[in-house]
């Protein structure tokens, strides 16, 4: 099929009114009154950001989810997204059937529609890029640079599941045996956390009400907390004994404590880390609970950095985050 037929079959059904049926050269989006636009873009390449063997619907969910996670961390409500798709020579109709289905399901769950984009051929690996658009009340976007010494540092959800899941997914694809630490836990749960991010869009009202600074945790908790604090001109004092862990991650660490470094520096969590003034902490926890999003205080902003391990001793790591470059 040609490009027009491909768009009409797989992507036009995902378009909202602003996308004009994907038959025009551009979309026309009217932002809500009194709001600023928030824009973010991420590119994902097979073999670097996901495995070419990953399920197509999961690839789609991740491509959209990583962008929605950025919007959530800024306190923005998603308005829509643009998709650019570079297809390798071996693409199949089955792949696009499953990819477009997964993209539609992820978008419907977030209440967003496709606005447009581009589809091209490539001799290289499958390459995907999404630009997501969101809106916040005028002047209310949460930046990285607002934290102050004494602010409490919170993180959503659980940390490290995706990094552990990535390790297991790599072995799964290679046909390798499970490592000893994974033989008595739910490996499927960890792999699913790697495959399908959970953007914390439900937390945006709580963030706008209480957070001074925020960003999503995409490349590793330690490195991303450092990036957040550095942008604010402060440092972090972290207590890893307070680290929120899922049951499988906790079991993995009990079996192999050396996995802690992967858990806190491995990336792909797509949780949110934020700084909250002490006097707003109770309200933040209350609003997060009402939104159904678990939040955990893991430290505080301060003049100098310190990282305490689960045993209370100072910890250093060979690297602080994952790099895709």
pLDDT tier at 1, thresholds 50, 70, 90: confident
The answer on 156 and 103 residing in a single domain is: no
pLDDT digits (tens, 9 = 90+) for 66-111: 999 999 999 999 999 999 999 999 999 999 999 999 999 999 999 9
Q: Is the pTM of this model over 0.85?
A: yes
The answer on 156 and 133 residing in a single domain is: no
Annotated binding residues for Mg(2+): 25, 40, 42, 70, 118, 216, 219
Q: What is the pLDDT of residue 2?
A: 83
The answer on 297 and 183 residing in a single domain is: yes
The answer on 46 and 9 residing in a single domain is: yes
The answer on 98 and 51 residing in a single domain is: yes
The answer on 287 and 164 residing in a single domain is: yes
pLDDT digits (tens, 9 = 90+) for 22-52: 988 899 999 999 999 999 999 999 999 999 9
Rounded Cα distance between 36 and 201, Å, is 17
pLDDT tier at 318, thresholds 50, 70, 90: confident
The answer on 235 and 133 residing in a single domain is: no
- Total domains, the chain: 2
**Share of residues in the chain with pLDDT > 90 (%):** 90
The answer on 275 and 158 residing in a single domain is: yes
Asked, for residue 316, whether it belongs to a domain, the answer is: no
**Share of residues in the chain with pLDDT > 70 (%):** 98
**In CATH, what number is assigned to the domain containing residue 58?**
3.30.1330.10
The DSSP string of 124-176 is: SS-EEEEEEEEEEETT----STT--TTPEEEEES-SSHHHHHHHHHHHHHHTP
Annotated binding residues: 25, 40, 42, 49, 70, 117-118, 144, 216, 218-219, 268, 322
Q: What is the pLDDT of residue 317?
A: 84
Instruction: Judge whether residue 324 has pLDDT over 60.
Output: no
Residue 73 C-alpha from the chain's centroid: 9
Asked, for residue 89, whether it belongs to a domain, the answer is: yes
* Cα atoms found within 13 Å of the Cα of residue 85, Cβ hemisphere only: 23
The answer on 293 and 164 residing in a single domain is: yes
Q: What is the pLDDT of residue 323?
A: 58
- What strands lie across the sheet with 235-239, from one edge to the other? 211-217, 271-276, 152-156, 295-302, 235-239, 306-308
Pairing relationship of beta strands 235-239 and 295-302 according to DSSP bridges: antiparallel
Q: What is the pLDDT of residue 325?
A: 45
Asked, for residue 314, whether it belongs to a domain, the answer is: no
Asked, for residue 323, whether it belongs to a domain, the answer is: no
Overall size of the chain counted in residues: 325
Q: What is the pLDDT of residue 321?
A: 67
The answer on 187 and 133 residing in a single domain is: no
The mean predicted confidence, pLDDT, of the chain is 94
Asked, for residue 244, whether it belongs to a domain, the answer is: yes
Q: What is the pLDDT of residue 322?
A: 64
More reliable by pLDDT, 39 or 2: 39
Annotated binding residues for ATP: 117-118, 144, 218
Asked, for residue 145, whether it belongs to a domain, the answer is: no
Q: Tokens for 257?
A: 């404590």
The answer on 168 and 55 residing in a single domain is: no
The answer on 187 and 132 residing in a single domain is: no
**In CATH, what number is assigned to the domain containing residue 297?**
3.90.650.10
Asked, for residue 38, whether it belongs to a domain, the answer is: yes
Annotated binding residues for substrate: 49, 268, 322
pLDDT digits (tens, 9 = 90+) for 208-236: 999 999 999 999 999 999 999 999 999 99
Residues 6 or more apart from 209 whose CB is under 8 A from it?
280, 283, 284, 287
Average pLDDT in the 43-65 region? 95
Asked, for residue 142, whether it belongs to a domain, the answer is: no
Domain region containing 91 = 3-137
């Amino acid at each position: 099929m040609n490009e027009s037929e491909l768009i009409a079959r797989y992507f036009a059904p995902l378009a909202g009114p602003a996308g004009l049926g994907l038959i025009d050269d551009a979309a026309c989006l009217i932002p809500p009154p009194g709001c600023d636009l928030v824009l973010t873009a991420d590119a994902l390449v097979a073999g670097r950001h996901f495995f070419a063997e990953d399920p197509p619907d999961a690839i789609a969910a991740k491509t959209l989810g990583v962008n929605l996670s950025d919007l959530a961390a800024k306190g923005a409500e998603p308005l829509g997204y643009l998709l650019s798709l570079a297809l390798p020579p071996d693409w199949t109709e089955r792949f696009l059937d499953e990819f477009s289905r997964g993209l539609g399901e992820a978008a419907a769950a977030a209440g967003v529609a496709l606005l447009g984009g581009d589809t091209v051929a490539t001799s290289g690996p499958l390459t995907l890029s999404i630009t997501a658009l969101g809106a916040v009340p005028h002047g209310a976007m949460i930046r990285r640079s607002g934290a102050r010494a004494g602010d409490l540092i919170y993180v959503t959800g659980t940390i490290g599941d995706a990094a552990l899941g990535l390790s297991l997914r790599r072995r799964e694809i290679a046909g390798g045996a499970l490592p000893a630490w994974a033989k008595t836990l739910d490996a499927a749960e960890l792999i699913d956390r790697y495959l399908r991010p959970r953007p914390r869009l439900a937390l945006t009202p709580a963030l706008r009400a209480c957070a001074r600074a925020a960003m999503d945790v995409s490349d590793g908790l330690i490195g991303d907390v450092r990036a957040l604090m550095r942008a604010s001109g402060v440092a972090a004092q972290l207590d890893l004994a307070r680290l929120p862990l899922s049951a499988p991650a906790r079991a993995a660490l009990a079996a192999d404590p050396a996995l802690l470094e992967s858990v806190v520096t491995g990336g792909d969590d797509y949780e949110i880390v934020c700084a909250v003034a002490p006097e707003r902490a109770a309200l933040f926890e209350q609003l997060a609970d009402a939104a159904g999003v678990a939040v955990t205080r893991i430290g505080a902003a301060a003049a100098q950095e310190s990282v305490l391990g689960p045993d209370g001793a100072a910890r250093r790591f060979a690297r602080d985050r994952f790099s895709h470059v």
